[in-house]
Amino acid sequence: MARRIFIDCGTHLGMGFSKLAETLNIDHNWEIYGFEANPYVFDGYVKNIESGKYPILSDKNINLENKAVWISDEGIEFSLRGITKHHYDTCYGDDWKNDLATMVGEHNGLEVEESLDIPWDGGSCAAKFKDKIKDTPERDELYKWHETIKVESINLSQWILDNFSKDDYIVLKMDIEGSEYEILPKMIEDGSINYINAAFIEWHDWVMPDYFNTTSGLVNSLRQANVQLGGWG
């Protein structure tokens, strides 16, 4: 029987997994691998799991790593980012707000509005592709930028080649703030994309407009590799 694998790149607090688990009928027979670069967010996701928020996750079937997925194992610069009260009030649904409220309380004993600038967000694209990011006054109303840190990384395509086979059924979820434009071409080049059966990808050309045409090219390449694409982000 083929192994069923869910690879969650950019887990954040687990909301994405929660949505896709229902869509894909993920149960205890699945192997789940999660990667989250932000140390604050990673800690919050672990607490969510320990609290029983996601009952199907257990020590037996989940493997979490506080690492960025990338094209090498050499680490990557990662820009930490908080959110403004305006962003919190206007852009997030109740589920996300409840998660943030729980995390803020556990970490700091503070009310949510007092802790919004804690860096629960961020990405490597903000550090590596800073000159390409669409920076506008409107975005300044949404985010509070913090320091850039060096985080550990995993060479995603090589990890897939080393650990799985084409007989496995693999679903890839990718919400990695722009790094998809480096990782997916490498996966296509080295053939690891042929291990993926379905993918849910958030494309970040909306903040990195230079990559708009790249998105359409990658989508075509994924379809040619028979990757079933689902909506995300």
- What are the pLDDT digits (tens) for 127-183? 555 555 555 544 555 455 567 889 999 999 999 999 999 999 999 999 998 899 999
| Boundaries of domain holding 69 | 37-164
127 is a domain residue: yes
176 is a domain residue: no
- C-alpha to C-alpha distance for 7 and 182, rounded to whole angstroms: 18
141 is a domain residue: yes
Confidence (pLDDT) at 77: 86
Whether pLDDT at 90 is above 80: no
Instruction: Name the residue type at position 93.
Output: G
What's the number of domains the chain is made of?
Answer: 1
Judging by beta carbons within 10 Å of its beta carbon (0-12, 13-18, 19+), is residue 185 exposed, middle or buried?
A: middle
Q: Whats the size of the chain, residue-wise?
A: 233
Whether pLDDT at 123 is above 60: no
Percent above pLDDT 70 for the chain: 68
169 is a domain residue: no
189 is a domain residue: no
Residue keyed to tokens 């083929």: 2
86 is a domain residue: yes
Give 48 or 93, the one with higher predicted confidence. 48
Q: Residue 10 in contact with residue 64, Cβ under 8 Å?
A: no
Q: What is the mean pLDDT of residues 94-102?
A: 61
218 is a domain residue: no
64 is a domain residue: yes
